Amino acid sequence: MKHVTSSPCFPQSNGMVERSIETLKGILFKVHQSQGDPNLALIEYNNTPKQNLPSPAEMLMGRVLRSLTPVKNILLKPKFPTTKTLQMLKQQQREQKGKYDKKSSSLKPLNVNQKVYVQMAHRNWSPAIVIEEHQTPRSYIVQLENGSEIRRNRVHIRPDNGIANDNL
């Protein structure tokens, strides 16, 4: 298993995880307000089917977990995901990729020692130089004028075309 981190200041590249975290925070906040048991809330969340697929608990353990929601005993017996379930999951992934690819366009790669502008916080652009391409997808290590090196996604880097960039 290889851990690949997303680029700083670019949570869009990790959208599904960001959405899951937001959902779990909402669940835990509601449980805390009602002084309920967070473990029961998480079991219910994992028992909930998502997007025409079995629930995460079903896919992992092969059965519905016992919870406060009434469930037939037959559903508590192990039944691991079939190839049909895995095919449905792959089909959903292909559809999502197709929808994303319709609107996206790839940016030209940058060269080492190329002069660029890097977007800092909230639309502030600073001149920099590309030091190297990072091993993570579409990320570069750039050196700012003050000598500090930062990692940014290609979306936050614009090549310096030698034209006055006052409107950046």
pLDDT of the chain, 168 residues: tens digit per residue: 676 777 777 767 777 778 888 988 999 999 999 999 999 898 888 888 877 788 888 888 877 777 777 777 777 777 776 777 888 889 988 998 898 888 878 889 899 999 999 998 777 899 999 999 988 888 999 999 999 999 998 989 999 887 655 545
HSE of 108, CA atoms in CB hemisphere, 13 A? 6
Is residue 132 within 8 Å of residue 112, measured between CB atoms? yes
Note whether 131 and 142 are within 8 A (CB). yes
pTM assigned to the model: 0.55
- Cβ-count burial 5-44 (b if 16+ within 10 Å, e if not): ebbeeeeebeeeeeeeeeeeeeeeeebeeeeeeeeebebb
